[in-house]
């Protein structure tokens, strides 16, 4: 994907990037996918996106009911739209503080102080991320070193495995068994090794809903 600014403004076009190993290979281009990193080659198609595409292809956009992504079948409340529009007009349309707007962090700290029954410092203990996906990879990259192991309960939200790989860690899986999606304590105990650095605890669990 190339984006550039010309006399006509910003332009964007898609292209297949090709690279050549030697000048003599100029007539025999190599696809960029042949040059992907080992990490990138280990990733697979997103199940969520794949199910969305299959649903739309089989049922069409008018009949498709999407259980893979959070797309409600109703419009956004007009009050929310008005509040967003007013905020933009009032100047809230520039880069914010990268770790979260002060008012938002203070509000989160007040709430979590009640939930956790202890004082929470919005300056040192609260960071706002662009969703849980960013928060997870940020936490993983902060805590995990290459060669470490991370315990993950399966089935799991599809990003947890790639998060481990991007961090250079090896995921070790502990299976949640139907019908109540509980785990075998012995299996969890066996998953711990001297290399264990973290365990991902997701509750309520995605995708089972287990608490």
The DSSP letter of residue 3 is E
pLDDT at 143: 94
Contact indicator for 160, 169 with CB cutoff of 8 Å:
no
Q: What is the pTM of this model?
A: 0.70
Domain boundaries, the chain: 145-211
Distance CA 169, CA 149 (A): 5
pLDDT at 67: 73
- Say how many Å lie between the first and final Cα of the chain, rounded: 42
Question: Which contacts qualify for 184-188: CB closer than 8 Å, 24 or more apart?
Answer: 188/151
* Displacement of CA 186 from its chain's centroid (Å): 30
Question: Which contacts qualify for 14-20: CB closer than 8 Å, 24 or more apart?
Answer: none
Cα 142 to Cα 42, 164, 191: the distances in Å are 22, 12, 22
pLDDT at 31: 54
pLDDT at 23: 40
| Sign of CA pseudo-dihedral 107, 110, 111, 112 | positive
Distance CA 43, CA 36 (A): 11
Contact indicator for 149, 178 with CB cutoff of 8 Å:
no
Query: What residues of the chain score a pLDDT lower than 50?
Result: 1-28
pLDDT at 144: 95
């Amino acid at each position: 994907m190339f984006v550039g600014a010309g006399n006509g403004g910003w332009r964007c076009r898609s292209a297949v990037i090709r690279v050549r190993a030697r000048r003599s290979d100029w007539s025999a281009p190599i696809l960029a996918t042949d040059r992907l990193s080992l990490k990138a080659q280990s990733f697979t198609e997103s199940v969520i996106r794949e199910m969305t595409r299959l649903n739309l292809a089989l049922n069409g956009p008018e009949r498709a009911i999407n259980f893979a992504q959070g797309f409600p079948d109703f419009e956004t409340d007009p009050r929310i739209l008005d509040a967003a529009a007013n905020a933009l007009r009032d100047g809230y349309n520039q880069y914010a503080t990268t770790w979260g707007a002060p008012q938002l962090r203070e509000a989160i700290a007040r709430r979590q102080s009640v939930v956790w029954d202890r004082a929470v410092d919005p300056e040192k203990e609260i960071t706002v991320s662009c969703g849980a996906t960013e928060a997870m990879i940020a936490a993983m990259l902060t805590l995990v070193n290459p060669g470490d192991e991370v315990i993950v309960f399966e089935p799991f939200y599809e990003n947890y495995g790639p998060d481990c790989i991007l961090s250079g860690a090896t995921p070790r899986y502990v299976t949640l068994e139907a019908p109540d999606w509980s785990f075998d304590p012995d299996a969890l105990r066996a998953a711990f090794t001297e290399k264990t650095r973290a365990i991902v605890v997701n509750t309520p669990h995605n995708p089972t809903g287990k608490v």
